[in-house]
Chains A and B, each alone.
Chain A
Amino acid sequence: MIRLQNVTKVYDNSVVAVTEVSLDVAKGEFVFLVGPSGSGKSTLLRLIMREEKPDEGDVWVAGKHASVLPTWKVPHLRRSIGTVFQDFKLLPNKSVYENVSFALEVTGRSRHVVRNQVPQVLKLVGLSNKSERQPRQLSGGEQQRVSIARAFVNRPLILLADEPTGNLDPATSVGIMRILDRINRTGTTVVMATHDHAIVDAMRRRVVQLDDGRVIRDQRSGAYEIRVQSNVRAAEARDEGKPIDPLEIPPDPALVADLVSETEPTSLPGAAPEKPTVAPAPDDASSAAPGHERTDTDA
């Protein structure tokens, strides 16, 4: 679904944002991008949504060679990517309903589709009863749910989230993660950049850790940070005379319970029911492979 090959991005002020990053994300995966500020997480997301072009290397997204896609084809790529940001980016003079329907209207969907899809997706994020509110009448968590609804309303293949819980308290964050998890279970690939230890540790999904623009860890069912916790474990292990396996670090049980409890019964109307796979499916990865659909070239 997403493939980066030896991608390097240097900004105009010669700041190297990303260095030789290679990454494969299969359809339906849930990936956390972690790492300190300035480590290249946001740049990676911007490369995937073709907000930036790499200076070196190639980016394939949803079967399209995004790094060489001509500018006029970028809107079509964007329609298969939903994006969620820390600051919500809602339009203050539009209601909740209008904020969500905006995404469909400006991509030329018919009124019929708008009338169908918007209430469904508002129901998914639990805001059916607040659809006529203005964003300023909502809490931060509710605003973020509107923004997720907007990102998901046209059923994108990929959802990119850049610190979606960055402005929210832990309890509210859990609610947001529950929705992202629900969306992931419909088969949507989710890539989320975050600083939130608790969430990453609790959800136990694939973790890609960046440092200074390089991938320094890519781990299935990972924790936020291997060092701190494993130091603790290492100390314990030394005492007990056992080797350390980072996968064994237990997630916070309370958070897990919170996250898991409500995710099961939800089925999304209109979305293809898919197995909630976490393991990368190899054939999906190859569908985004070089040469599969080459929509060259203006670069």
Chain B
Amino acid sequence: MRISYVLNEAFNNIRRNGLVVLGAILAVFVSLFLTFGTLIFGEIARVNTEQWQEDVRVIGYLRNDFRDVSGLQAEIEDWAEVQQVIYFSPSEAYQEAQRMFADDNQILEVIQEDPSIIPASLRVRPVDLNDYDTIKQRLTNSPGISDVISADETVEQIAAIRDGLRVFFWVLAVALGVAAVALIANTIHMAIYARREELEIMHLVGASNWFVRTPFIIEGVFEGVLGSGIAVALGAWLYKLAEGRLSDLPEFIILAVPDSFMLGRGLVIIAFGAVVGVVGSSISLAVHKYVRT
């Protein structure tokens, strides 16, 4: 009887305070929908910046008289911050130059006259964008390297965008989560206030604390899970819709959030919704005089 009575209380309460409960569900839904959206956008941003990062290289041009190329290549590959080193031979460099300057006859003529002015190079791929500078320094000091070039500004921009987005999405997600807790706490607060006479009598006749509190906790969890569940379902649906519609996006943007990510983060959001419900209702139970003994 006890369990069924407690559940009954919780759901009677939800029914009686329908509008307030709906408000709480909407509040959780909105904040967690935005949080979930934030996570998805964060993932898109991560995938894309990673992709751009893939294409970033530090190029070290080799002196024409340098012979121990494979030795240097092996040495650089051993650096902790280096992911990969590719040797670009003179003939490859020549072909690339011809492609790059296909429109510029003057330059083409110069190149064709003396292919040796296009030097061979080592193209170094960093583990992380932040290692870029270190690699540049070390490469400059290496024997056999005549010149180092890098797309400094581009790299810095990519790194800044990536780090900025990461911080922005985290701050947003945390702020929205806190807002959801506050809204649930407020809803439970109102539910408690609406039932203050009943609660006072429960305390008078000796209802145990869990008996008084559990219905409110259940109500909070119900609101949290329902709100977050709707948020996840709608978020995932909208993403799929967007993925189908936006097939003609510019090439440099990839819209590929894996289903596993969607499922994993969706479950995290729903679990978070449940936690928000427990925390929110606990906060308002703790501060409310009608449920304190």
**Could you list which residues of chain A lie within 8 angstroms of chain B, going by C-beta atoms?**
49, 71-72, 74-79, 81-83, 89, 91-92, 102-103, 105-111, 150-151, 154
Contact = CB atoms under 8 A, between A and B. Distances in A.
A82 B1 CA distance: 23
Contact of B201 (A49, A72, A75, A89): A89
Nearest to A154: B205
19 contacts: A71-B209, A72-B208, A74-B293, A75-B203, A75-B208, A75-B209, A76-B208, A78-B203, A78-B205, A79-B205, A79-B206, A83-B204, A89-B201, A92-B197, A106-B207, A106-B211, A108-B1, A111-B1, A154-B205
Contacts of A82: 205
Contacts of B198: 91, 102
Interface residues of B, number: 18
B67 interface: no
7 closest Cβ contacts across the A-B interface? A78-B206, A79-B206, A106-B207, A103-B205, A75-B206, A75-B208, A74-B293
B200 to A, nearest CB: 7
B237 interface: no
B138 to A, nearest CB: 65
Contacts of A103: 201, 205
B200 A89 contact: yes
A82 B204 CA distance: 8
Contacts of B200: 89
Given A79-B206, A81-B206, A91-B201, 20 more contacts: A49-B204, A71-B293, A75-B208, A75-B209, A75-B293, A78-B204, A78-B205, A78-B206, A89-B197, A92-B197, A102-B201, A106-B202, A106-B211, A106-B212, A107-B211, A108-B1, A108-B207, A108-B208, A111-B1, A150-B205
B205 A107 contact: yes
Given A108-B211, A110-B1, A77 B206 contact: yes
A84 to B, nearest CB: 10
B208 A105 contact: no
B245 interface: no
Contact of B5 (A74, A79, A105): A105
B212 to A, nearest CB: 8
B99 interface: no
Contacts of A154: 205
Contacts of B205: 78-79, 82, 102-103, 106-107, 150-151, 154
Contacts of B202: 106
A107 B207 contact: yes
B206 A91 contact: no
A158 to B, nearest CB: 12
B180 to A, nearest CB: 30
B163 to A, nearest CB: 49
Q: Which of B5, B197, B203, B208 has the most CB of A within 10 A?
A: B208
Given A74-B293, A83-B204, A89-B201, A108 B209 contact: no
Nearest to B195: A91
Contacts of B207: 75, 106-108
Contacts of A76: 206, 208
A108 B2 contact: yes
Nearest to B203: A78
Interface in B1-24: 1-2, 5
Contacts of B293: 71, 74-75
A107 B206 contact: yes
A143 B200 CA distance: 18
A297 to B, nearest CB: 17
